[in-house]
């Protein structure tokens, strides 16, 4: 396993999370959103590391930086459009 790829994914998650938060004016820092994005970055790095594709550090970082927002947007879409309503209805009955 390539630990550089995992570290690179974590770095990509941190970068994406902080830049996304930075562009939102007046919004307080949300540690849960930050942590979720960092975990997604680590998992994308893990996937690159397991794949065995040889990357140098810069290429791995940039690849992870591209994967993190895509995965995050897919998860948000699934949650908001499918799971969120179902879970919300089960909890609140509406």
Domain ranges of the chain: 3-92
Position 88 scores a pLDDT of 62
Contact 10, 45 (CB under 8 A): yes
pLDDT in tens, the chain (94 residues): 678 888 988 998 998 888 888 777 778 888 998 999 999 989 988 988 888 777 787 787 788 788 888 888 777 777 766 676 666 667 666 5
Position 35 scores a pLDDT of 93
pTM, rounded to two decimals: 0.67
**Six-digit token string for 92:** 């609140």
Task: Please tell me the distance from the alpha carbon of residue 86 to that of residue 29, in angstroms, as a whole number.
Answer: 28
């Amino acid at each position: 396993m390539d630990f550089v790829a995992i570290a690179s994914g974590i770095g990509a998650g941190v970068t994406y999370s902080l830049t996304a938060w930075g562009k939102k004016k007046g919004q307080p820092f949300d540690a849960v959103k930050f942590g979720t994005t960092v975990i997604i970055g680590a998992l994308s790095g893990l996937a690159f590391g397991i794949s065995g594709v040889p990357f140098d550090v810069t290429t791995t970082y940039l690849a992870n930086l591209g994967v993190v927002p895509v995965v995050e947007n897919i998860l948000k879409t699934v949650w908001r459009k499918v799971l969120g309503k179902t879970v919300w209805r089960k909890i609140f009955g509406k």
